[in-house]
Amino acid sequence: MNILQKPTIWVITAIALALLACGLNILFPALVILRVNLLVIGFIIGLSGFSIACSQKLQDNTSNGVLSLTTFGLSFTLFVITNSMDASWDSLILASSVFTGVSLFIGIFVLLPLLAKKTTAICFVLFHFASIISAVTSIEPPNAPASWLATNLWAYYFRHYLTFAYLNNAYHFYSPEPGPPALLWSKIQYEDGTFRWFKIPNRTESPIQMHYQRMLSVTESTNVASSHSPDNWEEKLQRRNLAGLANQPQITPLNRSMSQSFMYKEPADYSKRMLFSYALYLTKKFTHPTNKPTINIENIKIYRVTHNIITPGDMSRGENALDPTLYYPYFMGSFDKNANLIDPNDPFLYFLLPITRNANPNEPSVLNHSLDVHAGDVKIMPEKDGGKP
């Protein structure tokens, strides 16, 4: 047999290149380009060896030992590649870690007897479809809570698989009457007093409709609510209302007749990590104001906004689907230039900042925009256009 037809030779070469890249990462971390080239070449060579082993198995019906050994070698190559990356390459590290586990599983799978292989394959198919069902049924239907079982199975068992396979957001849309979309509005404040707003998704800035839809998946990743009730709820609510009354102008206090889950939406740990990642993205994208490279970010205030969907009856009466009072903003925190949460004890953190309208039969209605007041963009004024943004 030609030496190039021996898959073990290919895998050994891949391991050697990966180990060399790992050594460079330890001894000469500045040689990033050389290290990346070694990792890419090693990965391609390892896959080539695996491909040759699979081809030989199909053509010659050789023993499973060679294929399994090659797969274990590929798994070790991927393990070394994972540990040769910089910590900031988090997405590549995640993908490489998953591929390492998959190749290790394949190496064990090919050695199993036929009955065990069939059983394992059936279990995986059942797991896959159970995860899809959990994605569909974990969404709250109108005027009713979501299934406790489906929500917990999705949160603790299926979510990670669905997220990596990018099946979460798509199957949420198959839920019965899915809820309103989540938006992210961010005010980026600079040291010189200037600021900018950045809102996603944004139809005017999306080149195509598909881009707009894909941005919704980013905002939905921050919309996973914590399953734990907040400690000292009455104290938290009182602090929030007192802080609103002390603010100038005042921020509308929350009525105790509202449900706790409506007034306060603390994200789950997963969504908090997504918020940190999003804040970090903003610090990289908007590091300085336009044409002011020496001015840095002072803070970033992020608001998760729920845009309530009007009913068909409201639509038939000509109601404005973009009326400001249909937006429910929740303060997700103020972050510094390193994307760290500045004040975990902020009295407004995770609370609703309602946008309300005071009706006056003799004068134009007055819009109380708590979000803009909180952000520092005071907007309490009579409406000239019936509330249309």
Given this model, what pLDDT does residue 266 score? Answer: 92
Q: Residue 381: pLDDT band by 50, 70, 90 thresholds? A: very low
Percent of the chain residues past pLDDT 90, beyond the cut = 50
Given this model, what pLDDT does residue 64 score? Answer: 80
The full 3-state SS of 281-315, as one line of letters, equals HHHHHCCCCCCCCCCCEEEEEEEEEEECCCCHHHH
Question: Is 295 a residue whose pLDDT tops 60?
Answer: yes
Q: Give the 3-state secondary structure of residue 102.
A: helix
Domain spans in the chain, listed from the N-terminal domain onward: 3-111, 126-172, 182-375
Q: DSSP letters of 243-254? A: HHHHSSSPPPPP
β-partners of residue 366 are 358, 382
pTM, rounded to two decimals: 0.67
pLDDT in tens, 71-122: 999 999 999 999 999 888 888 898 999 999 999 999 999 899 999 999 999 9
Look at strands 297-307 and 182-190 and give their pairing. Answer: antiparallel
Question: Is 377 a residue whose pLDDT tops 80?
Answer: no
d(CA 142, CA 176): 8
Quick one: DSSP state of residue 8?
A: H
Question: Is 23 a residue whose pLDDT tops 80?
Answer: yes
Picking from 274, 264, 287, 279, the residue whose alpha carbon sits closest to that of residue 349 is 264
Buried b / exposed e over 254-273, threshold 16 CB at 10 Å, is: beeeeeeeebbbbbbebbbe
Residue 301: C-alpha distances to residues 251, 288, 298, 318, 337 (Å):
16, 16, 10, 34, 11
Residue 291: C-alpha distances to residues 24, 190, 193 (Å):
39, 13, 15
Kindly report the number of other CB atoms within 10 A of residue 47's CB atom: 18
d(CA 369, CA 354): 7
Given this model, what pLDDT does residue 360 score? Answer: 67
Phi/psi at 70 (5° precision): -65, -40
Q: Using an 8 Å Cβ cutoff, are 215 and 200 in contact? A: yes
Average pLDDT over residues 136-146: 74
d(CA 43, CA 34): 14
Picking from 342, 203, 179, 200, the residue whose alpha carbon sits closest to that of residue 261 is 179
* Cis amide bond preceding 249, omega within 30: yes
| Exposure of 326 in the CB half-sphere (CA atoms within 13 A) | 17
Q: Residue 385: pLDDT band by 50, 70, 90 thresholds? A: very low
Buried b / exposed e over 104-137, threshold 16 CB at 10 Å, is: bebbebbeeeeeeeeeeeeeeeeeeeebbebbbb
**387 vs 28, residue with greater confidence:** 28
Given this model, what pLDDT does residue 214 score? Answer: 81
Kindly report the number of other CB atoms within 10 A of residue 170's CB atom: 13
Tokens (6 digits) for 213: 């839809």
User: Greatest CA span in the chain, whole angstroms?
Assistant: 95
d(CA 11, CA 9): 5
Tokens (6 digits) for 257: 């007749």
Q: Residue 382: pLDDT band by 50, 70, 90 thresholds? A: very low
Given this model, what pLDDT does residue 173 score? Answer: 64
Count of H-run helices and E-run strands, the chain: 14, 7
Most confident of 49-58, 226-235, 322-331: 322-331
CA angle 177, 178, 180 (to 5 degrees): 120
Question: Is 363 a residue whose pLDDT tops 80?
Answer: no
Question: Is 179 a residue whose pLDDT tops 90?
Answer: no
Which helix or strand (DSSP H or E) is residue 356 part of?
Answer: strand 355-358
